[in-house]
A and B are shown apart, each in its own frame.
Chain A
Amino acid sequence: MANRTVRVDYIARVEGESSLELHVRNGAVDRVRLSIFEPPRFFEALLRGRGFGEVLDIVARICGICPIAYQMSGVHAIEDALGIQVDEPIRGLRRLLYCGEWIQSHALHIVMLHAPDFLGYPDAIAMAREHGEAVQRGLALKKTGNELLRVLGGREIHPINARVGGFYRVPGRAELAPLAEALKHARDQAIETLRWTASFSFPEFVRDYEFVALRHTDEYPMNAGRIVSSAGLDIAAVDYETEFIERQMPYSTALHSALKERGAYLVGPMARYALNRDRLPVEIRALADEVGLEPMCRNPFRSILIRGIEVVYACDEALRLIAGYQPPPRPFVPPEPRAAVGYACTEAPRGVLYHRYRLDGEGTILEASIVPPTAQNQGVIEGDLRDVATASLDLDDHALQASCEQSIRNHDPCISCAAHFLKFQLHRT
């Protein structure tokens, strides 16, 4: 058993296609490779030559789970280039739309993809036979999130209503009222789901991540804020490429991101919470305390609790935004093309999502750069895998594989986004 190879050809319960290969030599982990073989999708090249008004419809196709994130980073970057400041109600509607995406994406991951790992089931289908209520709560939460997307985005998958300068159509107050009723119920379901996950057993495992997330002057971050880190980074989106670099890996169709100075870093719910807990309302912080969530959680297996906190928060925030909503005087600010470069980061459910566009005077895209959260987290995921595997080498291959797969799912990777996930290979030689 000193030397062995574990290979998982397709990693289950993640979005997209990837594989994992683990080599153990002389009783120690020798090599870990998270290979993304989802075909490269060339979205950045596809955007070149298109008008700025086409960007949101194109980038929404990058992901069926988080199209809002792509639309929001895209629209903010274009508006940054064109010098557009949107009206306050538009800003509120965009945050409301983002709440919907956080709710549906997190609910899917918590209940359907991640929870079976903790309860010892191969999948949610088997788990549903004994935890039917929890699964139905998850589905109901997802439905509520989708409903926000449908009302504000025009449809649930690849929404079509967001545009540069605002929205094609804004809802009246009466249209949002049924959403508020659904969200009140969803908030209760989110709290029950959080308490259910808090009853799970979590492996003792801690890593010293550099957390990277947005930080806003007074909000828990979604659409706006500076890029900050637990090691003291504090920059605007315009400086993203000064601090971060993307590298090609021969075994993966996704680029790996790193901090130029310090290497791997972590984006996503753990980073957001660690760097922004003080921006959560006191009731949400109390709920985090109740379920034993420490202010700076470095155990990735406990990220399921943080997603749970963020679902409750997104329900609360959505209710607050609906209560204060007054339709704007105009649905959008008319954009005027100009030659410029625009930059933006927003907080996708899986973490910081960076967009940059260079436009000519007619508003045609000359250059586009998109860095999704999963591409940024690949270094950390491989680091986690190395440490988890090292601590689990006494397990048989099946148990070791299960442990490694759970470790990957801790970060809810979206492979389709990054290759734009999993085959597992373990070599013990």
Chain B
Amino acid sequence: MNGSERALALVAGIGNPDRGDDGFGPTVAQRLRGRAPFTVRVVERSGDALALIEDWNGIPFVIVIDAAAAISQPGRVHRLDLTDRPLPIGLAPPSSHAFGVAETVELARSLGKLPRHLIAYLVEGEQFATGAPLSPKVANAVETVAERIVNELSAILEAKGNAGYA
């Protein structure tokens, strides 16, 4: 969709594509281009998570995709509904900046600026080295997550009578 149309949903792939498995979010976002319904806006974000509050302003359904530290097995995907609860501490994606995704979500909650539905897809990462590609286990999860998101978006938008494909 172009910028002048009002999006019904937003998908934000978060992370640095030059830092190993941190590139998972942007990679999934790229995989969604042309596949997600045209009423869905797909963005890639790195660094400044606070900008998400502006990104999802006025958009009712939001999916964020990010990498998390490994807590059980690298490549494992977690789908979390953040609409009414924060990211669990163990899964909150790490950030060297003062405001990561977890803090941004809670700030938005304090401000009453959360979207009506906020879903997070998090993959447990294996390595985050500078310049490294996705690890094989995390790369294997890209298509699976892209497919799940397309299906989830289609189901939601069809239920609202707003589905459509470019």
Contacts and interface: CB of A to CB of B under 8 A. Distances in A.
Interface of A: 12-17, 38, 64-65, 108, 112-113, 123-126, 128-129, 132, 135-136, 139, 142-143, 146, 156-158, 416
Contacts of B99: 112
B89 to A, nearest CB: 14
A135 B96 contact: no
B46 A142 contact: no
User: Is chain A's interface secondary structure helix, strand, loop, or mixed overall?
Assistant: helix
A64 B48 contact: yes
Interface stretch (B105-113, B119-127, B155-163): B105-113
B103 interface: yes
A68 B110 CA distance: 31
Closest 8 CB pairs of A and B: A128-B110, A157-B47, A64-B47, A125-B106, A129-B110, A125-B107, A128-B111, A132-B111
Interface string B92-116: 0000111100010011011110000
Given A123-B103, A125-B110, A157-B47, 16 more contacts: A14-B98, A16-B96, A64-B48, A65-B97, A108-B98, A125-B106, A125-B109, A126-B110, A128-B107, A135-B107, A139-B53, A143-B51, A143-B54, A156-B48, A156-B51, A416-B96
Contact of B103 (A125, A146, A157): A125
Contacts of B51: 143, 146, 156
Interface in B49-92: 50-51, 53-54
B121 to A, nearest CB: 22
A139 B50 contact: yes
Contact of A64 (B53, B97, B109, B111): B97
A394 to B, nearest CB: 30
Contacts of A64: 47-48, 97
B111 A135 contact: yes
22 contacts: A15-B96, A15-B97, A16-B96, A64-B97, A65-B97, A112-B50, A112-B99, A113-B98, A124-B107, A125-B103, A125-B107, A125-B109, A125-B110, A132-B112, A136-B111, A139-B50, A139-B53, A139-B54, A143-B51, A156-B51, A157-B46, A158-B47
A28 B96 CA distance: 34
A80 to B, nearest CB: 30
B50 A142 contact: yes
Interface of B: 46-48, 50-51, 53-54, 96-99, 103, 106-107, 109-112
A129 B107 CA distance: 9
A353 B82 CA distance: 41
A132 to B, nearest CB: 5
A15 B110 contact: no
B110 A132 contact: yes
A17 B107 contact: no
Contacts of B106: 125
Nearest to A136: B111
B54 A112 contact: no
A2 to B, nearest CB: 36
Contacts of B103: 123, 125
B55 to A, nearest CB: 11
A67 to B, nearest CB: 10
A115 B44 CA distance: 30
Contacts of A143: 51, 54
A17 B96 contact: yes
A2 B150 CA distance: 63
A158 to B, nearest CB: 8
Contacts of B110: 125-126, 128-129, 132, 135
A112 B98 contact: yes
A157 B112 CA distance: 27
Contacts of B112: 132
B99 to A, nearest CB: 7
A117 to B, nearest CB: 13
Contacts of A126: 110
A146 B107 contact: no
Contacts of B97: 15, 64-65
A143 B112 CA distance: 18
B48 A157 contact: yes
A113 B99 CA distance: 10
Contacts of A65: 97
A158 B107 CA distance: 25
A15 B98 contact: yes
B98 A13 contact: yes
A252 to B, nearest CB: 17
Contacts of B48: 64, 146, 156-157
Contacts of A129: 110
B47 to A, nearest CB: 4
A125 B98 CA distance: 12
A264 to B, nearest CB: 26
Among B46, B47, B53, max chain A CB count under 10 A is at B47
Residue from A17, A123, A125, A132 whose CB has the most chain B CB atoms within 10 Å: A125
A78 to B, nearest CB: 24
Contacts of A135: 107, 110-111
Most A Cβ at <10 Å: residue of B46, B50, B98: B98
